[in-house]
A and B are shown apart, each in its own frame.
Chain A
């Protein structure tokens, strides 16, 4: 009987930069980002896929990176919170989160921002209900979501510039 493959080399585009690494087959994408690439902006808040703190965008789809193996991201293009701002300018969502006090401890914020970005990328004029649905997979224990919803809505309305 042949030994099962326990690891492999993967190549992932993260925020426009190609990273090649040997990873264990069981390595979660979130641990690949945090521990192997040192992109610690993506957080872990649970062990059941409920909290959304680890949300990233993989090939245009919002994904909980604790629910995906690193090897499944081989060849994929991943966007994380570290890629949101460009040339020293905050992304409008980042600016809106600050302006509307949509974050307190900031632990859910990276995942929340990525879910919000995915929403606005696909639905530039969401209703409040659509906003709430888009972030229902992201738990925040600090804010009660009031200001998060407002920040996303204001961004969609073009009221905030980065």
Chain B
């Protein structure tokens, strides 16, 4: 395969002619659907191999304990058990996983199985492989582990206090990372303020998107070549291989990651490299394919939670006219027992430092601690969602305490459309957007003009009605250079994604991607882009399903995460297709006797002369000539392969490590949501009676798919705001370890969602599109906002938590003063 990696020297700007009507912008039917509605998708647990073993993990029942001994002998005696793997073997055969954190936290040891100590309930201690799922579970019951329980650390706010037990010998005060962020001139802003609003504590709770398909893998080992084939649903193969190859002490090419269909990911399937390494060791040890399919209870207990975060000593300087000048806060983030993808979350929030607002003066003291809870990992809206919820809470609390209108205060402080592209206080460049217009659209969706009448109607029925707004950003196409702001020694920056497009011998157009879609419709949208450039139908474009390292269509950051496919993935598709189109024109010009490629064009599966449409060569003939009949070609065209590989690289620069300053992502999609709730003041039970979501992700490649992502992100945010929470008891046992106790929205729980859109093309991306899909967690903000508004009539309590199940609302109704003590207003 000819490889041509092209890196744009300058930001790719959008030429308006490129946006001519075609398949881009149309609701093209999904190419993925046929196999999925027929039950013919291939998810990881559908992969079967001869003699395959099923693996069950023996997991820790303690949140914190020393492992005094492990005895697997009774398990091995059971007929049909193939073998086991314990931590000591893992420690002998692998290196600890690479750590992103600088020392001392960077020195902590994280292995595929617990070595010597367990640090959270559900931590894998022993892996047992047997002939059937049931037998593996039986055998796991026979493994005897001798634990010596240790004192647990669960509260992030006291985890760093002196005298607390230490989770990792290498990590003093359980502190993974600490950093100060100081932008603008906060002291001057404070001096200039007419009023200062202080909020003692806000809390963002622990939950996760809980994809319906749990994590899993089928791993084969080839003894002859020393290569592993890893069928899995890992959603970030670029990161997984970087973590796994050094741990296994092999080259990256020894790890072939393969996936076809993935049953949702939402970030929760990024950090499965830990279990994948255990599977690799077992496959090699047993010389047998091994299947690991995570149990739902294990997914909740020990896979990947969203980060819990506390915002302490919040201070907000405000001018008399309602202009907010910025904020100050001490933030503590809890990453659970191991770091894995962390402490990247300690910088990723800074992509959206001022949220949607023109705040220029920000001072943040950010600490991340470890606790005896499930490790955290990226979760839809990763790290920015927590921060954006915080900015929206500031707005609504300030509005309530200073008796300002929540709509007006937003519009006064929103970054304006005429200020785009807008540089934030920490150097991020918001590419485009019109927040005020999105807000107007959202308010229209819920018929905001009628709110006071509806409030009175609700009162007449004994209900409290409230309206709330959530304004968030979905920042996408990471600049991995931001990792150097948490650890200056790291050698990561920029971003990339790969696609190949070829015209094969019988005229098939074949596309491969480096991504690992989990429902984001990459096959469809990639085909739309290819079809427009080659002037064919998306039906004529075969986009291979899934990901395979052996396609050679991946790079270091390949995967599906962090709202970027429409930029990076489709940027790569566009680049490769442009190359292929150029090559087809070259062949056409030569065969059709044209002087140059300017004299030919692509149309309907032909390359033809512009001056004589009858002089046309079908794509099939081009494919056949180049692949199987190339002696007819002039010598100067013998380098045409019709097999084009393109690496899209965004125009990122290195951020300034000292000042923690620079553009951390390429695009910033907007979500403005409006929510109406009715609360029963007797019980705290509430219902979302109206909901409007407005999204602006620039040019929409496929509006129906975009709307689907908006609906899904909104449902997850509403679920998290109302019922979903990972609660622990005082011993560190997870109280919501499955769908019985962890209530995700069902069809009856979801309000009717109304959606609208605004299209502010990104000036920085190949198609004017922005990454989207994570959704910024606007629903979490909108629900909190609406509840506070509804309860205003009942003692003006402060909604200070992102988790608001009925019992918490009832507590606010019962004792509003308790929450009001969190807030103080200083008049200057």
- Using a CB–CB distance below 8 Å, which chain A residues touch chain B? 24, 26-27, 31, 34-35, 38-48, 50-51, 53, 80-82, 84-85, 90, 94-95, 97-99, 101, 103-110, 113, 131-133, 135-149
Contact = CB atoms under 8 A, between A and B. Distances in A.
B745 A136 contact: no
Given A97-B33, A101-B708, A105-B262, A41 B38 contact: yes
A24 B45 CA distance: 21
A80 B40 CA distance: 12
A98 B30 contact: yes
B209 interface: yes
Contacts of B711: 143-144, 146-147
Contact of B747 (A27, A84, A148): A148
B750 interface: yes
B745 A113 contact: no
B593 interface: no
Interface string B19-38: 00000000001101110111
The 6 closest A-B pairs by CB, nearest first: A41-B39, A107-B263, A144-B715, A106-B36, A104-B519, A105-B519
B133 interface: yes
A107 B739 contact: no
A40 B38 contact: no
B704 interface: yes
A15 B716 CA distance: 35
Contacts of B520: 104
B212 A146 contact: no
A8 B41 CA distance: 31
Given A105-B211, A105-B212, A149 B747 contact: yes
B37 A94 contact: yes
Given A40-B46, A50-B739, A144-B753, A45 B745 contact: no
Given A40-B45, A110-B39, 8 more contacts: A34-B46, A41-B38, A45-B213, A47-B295, A81-B39, A104-B520, A140-B212, A146-B753
Interface string B259-270: 001111010000
Interface of B: 29-30, 32-34, 36-43, 45-46, 48, 133-134, 209-214, 261-264, 266, 293, 295-297, 518-521, 704-705, 707-709, 711-712, 714-716, 738-740, 744-748, 750, 752-753
A142 B738 contact: no
A81 B38 contact: yes
B212 A51 contact: yes
A141 B739 contact: no
A103 B297 contact: no
B264 A105 contact: yes
A139 B744 contact: yes
B721 to A, nearest CB: 13
Contacts of B748: 132-133, 136
Interface of A is mostly: loop
B263 A101 contact: no
Nearest to A39: B39
Contacts, number: 173
Nearest to B134: A26
A143 B747 contact: no
B45 A44 contact: yes
Nearest to B717: A144
22 contacts: A26-B134, A44-B293, A46-B739, A48-B297, A48-B738, A48-B739, A80-B39, A81-B38, A90-B37, A97-B37, A98-B37, A101-B704, A103-B36, A103-B37, A105-B264, A105-B519, A107-B263, A136-B747, A138-B747, A140-B212, A141-B716, A142-B519
A141 B744 contact: yes
Contact of B29 (A98, A105, A113): A98
A106 to B, nearest CB: 3
Contact of A141 (B210, B704, B705, B707): B210
B358 to A, nearest CB: 32
A48 B36 CA distance: 24
A81 B519 CA distance: 19
A45 B296 contact: yes
Among B518, B705, B711, the most chain A Cβ lie within 10 Å of the Cβ of B711
Contacts of A45: 212-214, 263, 296
Nearest to A81: B39
Given A105-B264, A141-B212, A46 B712 contact: no
B197 to A, nearest CB: 34
Contacts of B43: 40, 43, 107
A51 B750 contact: no
Given A90-B37, A97-B33, A141-B212, A104 B712 contact: yes
A84 B134 CA distance: 30
Contacts of B519: 103-106, 142
B750 A146 contact: yes
A26 B739 CA distance: 23
A138 B749 CA distance: 12
Nearest to B380: A141
B713 to A, nearest CB: 8
A46 B300 CA distance: 10
A47 B299 CA distance: 11
A47 B297 contact: yes
B410 to A, nearest CB: 25
B692 to A, nearest CB: 13
A97 B739 CA distance: 25
A103 to B, nearest CB: 6
A106 B263 contact: yes
B556 to A, nearest CB: 25
A140 B750 CA distance: 11
A65 B492 CA distance: 47
Given A45-B296, A109-B36, A50 B740 contact: yes
Given A105-B261, A141-B716, A41 B739 contact: no
Contacts of B753: 144, 146
B233 to A, nearest CB: 10
A38 B42 CA distance: 12
Nearest to B38: A85
A114 B740 CA distance: 22
